[in-house]
């Protein structure tokens, strides 16, 4: 792979080349990507989607929106640090107009959208969509779909749904948000289709990142960026875009540290216990005198959090720069923090977060409720669109279809695409709207 192709400014539908040296420095193409994402409907819905504690009424607990903004800020710093190194190593990029801020802008935009495809109710939302087809009422469609289409549904993936949101053509709006190919490449953490699903030590094979419905565009994107193909002639799989490692690292840094901070602020993790874990990350940079002047838990935790994030940014950047050659060859198989010097401390924090936060009673109770809400919504909407296609609408179906946003009212001829469009619809709901709509279709909210 080579950096010039990886930094492609091309957008869906372009017929002429976009050169970096011709860009308007007051509004770069990579910065336009950020703007298009932040003004999109799907991004706004993240303000009421679960990050850690579903539907938390506590104002300092993060939503998907605040998490995404924070990940984007961390990613921008990572991109700029790495970009400076890459331009020094490959001076020909500088001659063609590229700047270190370009790397920051690409990674920031990709990171801003990294959760845009995630359903309501946290990661249980993905599982609940999958289980609707695997063991719920959606089982009846199994024999009508090919194996890869079926795998997309039973193993519904927020990353693939995010790619769909960013680039799908809807109602003659070609190419979705029409982001630069560089940003789309950095967005795709798992550049492969859902099958084959096989164990691999490569972090890029952990999940999948593209539905069958976007496969043709995905292949065009990968070819334009010069991504190295790893799948056989039947199965589509590529190595990661190098900047996807930075997006992943920014997300890892934020959820490790900030989810932990939320757990402390909620009282799920005691302060003394938490301080011990965080201090292990910042021993080399902490100003003990300043720290001892802080009077309350929130100030002490905030100070340690800022130091920890700063240290992890520098460490992730160091790991990228150290392994840049193998990353560019598609040979680096780990996340940047997997083998870093803070690996043990990070694993300790994640272990306690799983025990005290992710498996807390409040989280578990809300996730259980989310399973039923999502299953019922999928059932009524999929039934209505299929009955419309078969010209067998009931009066109830007609009412349900009136609830569909305009972009979903044109139902695809293809069964797989009809079902996937409803999965996309439900995944785009905020937590509160999903619950409100569920009450209405169940006749529980007649006000």
Position 33 scores a pLDDT of 96
pLDDT over threshold 80, residue 400: yes
Mean pLDDT of 262-277: 84
User: Which of helix, strand or coil describes residue 348?
Assistant: helix
- For the beta carbon of residue 34, count every other beta carbon within 10 angstroms: 22
Confidence of residue 57 (pLDDT cuts 50, 70, 90): low
Residues 6+ apart with CB under 8 A from 165: 40, 42, 116, 117, 176, 177, 424, 428
Q: Cα dist. 377→195, 332, 424 in Å? A: 27, 41, 12
pTM, to two decimals: 0.95
The tokens for 58 are: 């506590």
pLDDT band at 447 (very low <50, low <70, confident <90, very high): low
Which residues, at least 6 apart from 8, have a Cβ–Cβ distance to it below 8 Å? 180, 181, 182, 185, 224, 225
Give the pLDDT score at 436: 92
Backbone phi, then psi, for 120, in 5-degree steps?
-65, 165
Q: Report d(CA 26, CA 9) in Å as an integer.
A: 16
DSSP reduced 3-state for 14: coil
Q: Tell me, what's the pLDDT at 424?
A: 96
**For the segment 287-324, what is each residue's pLDDT rounded down to a tens digit?**
989 988 998 888 888 899 999 999 999 999 999 999 99
CA distance 385 to 426: 14
Question: Residue 422 to residues 213, 391, 425: CA-CA distances in angstroms?
Answer: 13, 18, 5
Higher pLDDT, 288 or 152: 152
pLDDT in tens, 174-207: 889 999 999 999 999 999 999 998 878 899 999 9
pLDDT in tens, 100-148: 999 999 999 999 999 999 999 878 899 999 999 999 999 999 999 999 9
Note the pLDDT of residue 61.
67
* Distance set, CA 367 to CA 110, 371, 413, 435 (Å): 27, 7, 34, 12
- CA of residue 113 relative to chain centroid, distance: 6
Q: Which of 204, 315, 296 is nearest to 256 (CA)?
A: 315
| Selection from 36-45, 164-173, 183-192, 226-235 with the highest mean pLDDT | 183-192
pLDDT at 208 over 70: yes
Q: What separation, in Å, do the N-terminal and C-terminal C-alpha atoms of the chain show?
A: 59
- Provide the 3-class DSSP secondary structure of residue 63: strand
- The tokens for 437 are 């709509």
Residue 416, pLDDT above cutoff 90: yes
CA distance 275 to 369: 33
Contact 191, 145 (CB under 8 A): no
Asked whether the predicted pLDDT for residue 446 surpasses 60, the reply is no
CA atoms lying within 13 Å on the CB side of residue 82: 36
Give 379: exposed, middle or buried? Use CB within 10 Å, 0-12, 13-18, 19+.
middle
At residue 49, does pLDDT exceed 90?
no
Instruction: Label residues 295-326 b or e (16+ Cβ within 10 Å = b).
Output: eebeebbebbbebbbebbbebbbbbbeebbee
Residues recorded for the chain: 447
**What's the chain's average pLDDT?**
92
Q: What is the pLDDT of residue 225?
A: 98
Check residue 60 and give its pLDDT: 58
The percentage of the chain sitting over the pLDDT mark of 70, rounded to a whole number, equals 97
Say what the pLDDT of residue 295 is. Answer: 87
Stronger pLDDT, 371 or 51, i.e. the higher one = 371
Out of 114-128, 221-235, 236-250, the most confident range is: 236-250
pLDDT reported for residue 232: 80
- Categorize the per-residue pLDDT at 413 as very low, low, confident or very high, splitting at 50, 70 and 90: very high
Q: How confident is the model at residue 59 (pLDDT cuts 50, 70, 90)?
A: low
Give the helix ranges, DSSP H, for 361-402.
361-389, 395-401
What are the domain boundaries of the chain?
A: 361-440
52 cis-preceded (ω within 30 degrees of 0): no
């Amino acid at each position: 792979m080579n950096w010039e192709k990886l930094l492609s400014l091309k957008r869906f539908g372009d017929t002429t080349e976009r050169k970096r040296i011709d860009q308007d420095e007051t509004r770069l193409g990579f910065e336009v990507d950020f703007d298009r994402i932040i003004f999109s409907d799907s991004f706004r819905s993240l303000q009421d989607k679960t990050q850690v504690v579903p539907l938390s009424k506590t104002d300092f607990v993060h939503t998907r929106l605040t998490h995404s903004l924070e990940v984007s800020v961390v990613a921008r710093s990572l991109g700029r640090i790495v970009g400076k190194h890459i331009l020094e190593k490959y001076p020909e990029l500088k001659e063609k107009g590229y700047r270190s801020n370009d790397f920051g802008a690409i990674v920031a935009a990709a990171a801003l959208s990294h959760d845009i495809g995630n359903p309501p109710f946290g990661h249980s939302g993905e599982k609940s969509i999958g289980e609707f087809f695997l063991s719920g009422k959606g089982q009846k469609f199994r024999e009508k779909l090919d194996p890869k289409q079926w795998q997309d549904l039973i193993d519904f993936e927020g990353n693939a749904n995010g790619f769909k949101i960013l680039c799908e053509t809807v109602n003659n709006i070609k190419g979705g948000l029409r982001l630069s190919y560089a940003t789309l490449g950095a967005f795709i953490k798992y550049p492969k289709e859902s099958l084959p699903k096989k164990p691999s030590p490569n972090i890029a094979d952990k999940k999948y990142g593209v539905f069958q419905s976007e496969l043709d565009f995905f292949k065009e994107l990968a070819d334009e960026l010069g991504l190295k193909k790893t799948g056989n002639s039947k199965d589509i799989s590529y190595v990661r875009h190098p900047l996807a490692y930075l997006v992943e690292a920014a997300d890892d840094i934020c959820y490790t540290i900030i989810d932990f901070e939320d757990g402390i602020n909620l009282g799920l993790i005691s302060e003394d216990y938490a301080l011990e874990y965080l201090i292990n990350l910042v021993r080399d940079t902490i100003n003990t005198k300043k720290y001892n002047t802080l009077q309350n838990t929130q100030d002490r935790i905030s100070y340690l959090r800022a130091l920890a994030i700063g240290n992890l940014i520098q460490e992730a950047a160091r790991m990228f720069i150290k392994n840049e050659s193998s990353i560019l060859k598609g040979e680096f198989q780990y996340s940047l923090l997997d083998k870093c010097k803070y690996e043990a401390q990070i694993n300790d924090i994640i272990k306690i977060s799983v025990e005290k936060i992710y498996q807390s009673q409040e989280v578990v109770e809300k996730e259980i409720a989310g399973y039923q809400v999502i299953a019922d919504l999928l059932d009524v909407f999929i039934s209505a669109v299929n009955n419309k296609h078969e010209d067998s609408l009931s009066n109830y179906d007609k009412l349900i279809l009136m609830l569909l946003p305009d972009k979903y009212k044109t139902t695809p001829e293809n069964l797989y695409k009809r079902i996937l469009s409803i999965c996309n619809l439900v995944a785009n709901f905020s937590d509160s709207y999903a619950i409100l709509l569920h009450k209405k279709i169940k006749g529980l909210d007649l006000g």
